[in-house]
Structure 1
Amino acid sequence: MAETVAFFRPNDERAAEATEIVREMGSEPLSDPMLAVEPTGDTPREDAAYTVLTSKTGVELARDAGWTPASEVVAIGTATADALRSNGYRVDRVPEEYSSSGLVEELEDEVAGERVEVARSDHGSAVLTDGLNDAGAYVHETVLYRLVRPEEAGESAVAAAEGRLDGACFTSSLTVEHFLAAADERGVRSAAVEGLNDAVVGTIGDPTRETAESYGVGVDVVPADAEFAALAAAVVERL
């Protein structure tokens, strides 16, 4: 019988893509979206020397708002870069490390005295804005959307609590926190954490790993490539 691997991507093409990836790897996918998007209606500033986009969702909301960048456009990750290009924007920079700290390292030697616009969700890491501020940039952050937990989320928490989960792929600290909140609501948090610790848990990036471990969830794999396909492959391989 195929192992069951849970993931928590938004209920759109990202969840569909993840389902296909996990199934093609020979595992049974359990899609339990832990994030839903609530747009704020705000638009990125257009007068910055550098504009940083961190997600496909942010790109699409900026496009819908009619945003036109004035200067360099920086993308965290290939998925964000691909979304920019497919929506008619240029991409001037993609940091080698797909993380806030990687972006700070990419720009810190050239942003002193420059305006940097950061357009992202309401749960963006302070590592990015603080790091750019420390490098001497004038940082402005626009919150394009809020990330909330869907009311129906929690199937994976029940599966973990009942010992029916073999693997779990957490793509952000917020997915960890929302998983545990959903388990709390169902009265199975302790059992769900125990179930995760009997399974193979993977996270994208060290910040997500640190969040999981701070709540007592052991992390088995953190792939070098911060993409879902690499995360799923690492979990399935460990299984």
Structure 2
Amino acid sequence: MIAVFRPDDGRLADAVEFIESLGADVLGDAMLEVRPTGNAPRDDGDFTILTSKTGVELAADAGWNAQGTICAVGDGTASRLREFEYPVHRIPAEFSSTGLVEELAADVDGARVEVARSDHGSPVLTDGLEAAGAYVHETILYELVRPANAGKSAEAAAEGDLSGAIFTSSLMVQNFLDAAEARGIRSEALAGLNDAVVGVIGEPTKSTAEGLGIEVDVVPEKADFETLARAVVTASNAN
């Protein structure tokens, strides 16, 4: 059984359906709940950075008037911006905070940079831009919390029922272990997870997972959910 942890706002159902189409049994366990703040990005920045599709959707809902150079972390975020008819001017080669700092560092000295994202955004981005000379303002578009009922995947891991797990953010990893801790089965869930094929999107999530004692087996070159899911299903079938 493959565990997947997307928010239960349509993305979890889509993820379950996709993995089932690959012929795998799926356990959907939402590890994140999105709570919008109602804030919109400021429109007076020389650069504005959006880091997720959720952020784009909430910015559009709040009536954001895009100005200046619009930057997206990743193709998914860029595609969502275009769907809302916002321009996309810059996408880093590496879809991460570090990659975006490297993309913009030579151009932001003295510039006003608006960063619009969740309350769990990495300080690597804001600190890196400030070190490059930018005047950085951060707008929190949404908060990410662990749903009260999250944790059935931890129970399945503890019982040895998982063949794979798919993590698409560092916070999902932390919330999985927190849910296990709340049930008094952290060590058992961790052991069961390490007997399964663990796939993550990107090096930051890999670093978080490994720092918490999770053995990571799959990190796709393309930071895309479907690519990751296919790789985890293939590896779990071969395991």
Where in structure 2 are the equivalents of 1:29-178 lying within 5 Å?
29-178=26-175
Which residue of the partner structure matches residue 222 of structure 1? 219
Distance (whole Å) between structure 1 residues aligned to residue 99 and residue 12 of structure 2: 26
Distance (whole Å) between structure 1 residues aligned to residue 111 and residue 47 of structure 2: 8
TM-score, reference length from structure 2: 0.96
Percent sequence identity over aligned pairs: 61
Matched, 1:202 2:205: no
Deviations 1:160-181 (A, max 9, x none): 0000000001111100110011
Deviations 1:116-168 (A, max 9, x none): 10000000011111111111111111111100001111110000000000000
Matched, 1:8 2:5: yes
Distance (whole Å) between structure 1 residues aligned to residue 97 and residue 227 of structure 2: 19
Which residue of the partner structure matches residue 180 of structure 1? 177
Distance (whole Å) between structure 2 residues aligned to residue 222 and residue 235 of structure 1: 9
**SS at structure 1 position matched to 2:94:** coil
Amino acid paired to 1:85:
R
Amino acid paired to 2:222:
D
Count of residue pairs brought into register by the alignment: 236
**SS at structure 2 position matched to 1:201:** strand
**SS at structure 2 position matched to 1:82:** helix
Distance (whole Å) between structure 2 residues aligned to residue 77 and residue 9 of structure 1: 18
Distance (whole Å) between structure 2 residues aligned to residue 12 and residue 44 of structure 1: 22
The runs of at least 4 aligned residues of structure 1 exceeding 6 Å deviation read none
- C-alpha RMSD of matched pairs (Å): 1.0
Give ranges in structure 2 of 5+ residues lacking alignment. none
TM-score, reference length from structure 1: 0.96
